[in-house]
């Protein structure tokens, strides 16, 4: 079998594990932050950090791994009116998002941007902790870098993604922790305007990528 076939099989296993884990959290918890396996404080701080990507007011925004639409709730509470769309690979999450937010039910979609081609672009693309579950050795980094590149390609202004950090002093079993310097180095190969922030949580950082090339 080819390397590509083996990778496709491995990715299917990753998706299966992800779906099983988050379907269970959705069944077990009513609170939005717990449904996506995050503490309330960490969830809020990650959302607040996303706002530093740019001015979302009146812009189009794609939320990758949107869960049950928590970031849309956050934007509404902040008085930010943008053209929001959310995608997630978990159909149960999308169904719950549509049920919770009927006014934008048509803006939520079951979609995997690593497996399917999205024929649209957005001013901003964000993702909050999309691949923090630990998978097979090496796969978290490979999948996340593919995800970041796709997010940058789909954005017209910029993209931001938060992830758990290898600099944490209190690692939790079952969580993958990314080396910020390694993520930055790989991202710089396809995005010339990039930075990260590790100041808002001790176990987390957010990567910001902008389409404007500072060399031009």
Residue 155 to residue 160: CA distance in whole angstroms: 10
* Confidence (pLDDT) at 174: 86
pTM of the model: 0.86
> Is 85:107 a contact under the CB 8 Å cutoff?
yes
Residue 12 to residue 118: CA distance in whole angstroms: 19
* Confidence (pLDDT) at 191: 95
Read off the pLDDT of each residue in 35-49 and give the average, rounded to a whole number.
73
Residue 18 to residue 8: CA distance in whole angstroms: 15
* Confidence (pLDDT) at 62: 98
Q: How far separated are the first and last CA of the chain, in Å rounded?
A: 44
* Confidence (pLDDT) at 151: 97
- At residue 60, does pLDDT exceed 90? yes
Tell me, rounded to whole angstroms, the distance of Cα 187 from its chain centroid. Answer: 15
> Is 206:160 a contact under the CB 8 Å cutoff?
yes
Read off the pLDDT of each residue in 168-179 and give the average, rounded to a whole number.
91
pLDDT digits (tens, 9 = 90+) for 82-114: 999 999 999 998 999 999 999 999 999 999 998
83 secondary structure, DSSP code: E
C-alpha distances out from residue 12 to 174, 178, 190, Å: 19, 22, 26
Q: Which residue has the tokens 């299966």?
A: 16
- Alpha helices for the chain (secondary structure H): 3-28, 32-35, 40-50, 70-77, 91-100, 139-154, 180-187
């Amino acid at each position: 079998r080819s390397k590509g076939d083996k990778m496709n099989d491995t990715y299917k296993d990753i998706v299966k594990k992800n779906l099983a884990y988050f379907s269970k959290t959705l069944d077990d918890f009513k609170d939005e932050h717990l449904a996506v396996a995050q503490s309330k404080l960490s969830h809020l701080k990650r959302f607040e950090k996303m706002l530093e990507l740019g001015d979302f007011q009146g812009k189009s925004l794609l939320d990758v791994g949107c869960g049950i639409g928590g970031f849309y709730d956050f934007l509404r509470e902040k008085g930010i009116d943008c053209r929001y769309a959310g995608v997630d690979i978990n159909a149960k999450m999308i169904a719950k998002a549509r049920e919770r937010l009927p006014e934008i039910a048509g803006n939520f979609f079951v979609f995997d941007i690593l497996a399917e081609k999205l024929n649209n672009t957005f001013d901003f693309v964000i993702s909050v902790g999309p691949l923090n579950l630990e998978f097979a050795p090496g796969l978290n980094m490979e999948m996340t870098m593919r995800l970041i590149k796709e997010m940058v390609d789909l954005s017209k202004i910029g993209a931001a993604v938060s992830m758990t950090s290898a600099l944490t002093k209190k690692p939790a079993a079952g969580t993958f922790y990314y080396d910020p310097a390694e993520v930055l180095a790989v991202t710089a190969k396809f995005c010339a305007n990039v930075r990260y922030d590790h100041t808002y949580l001790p176990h987390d950082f957010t990567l910001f990528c902008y389409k404007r090339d500072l060399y031009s």
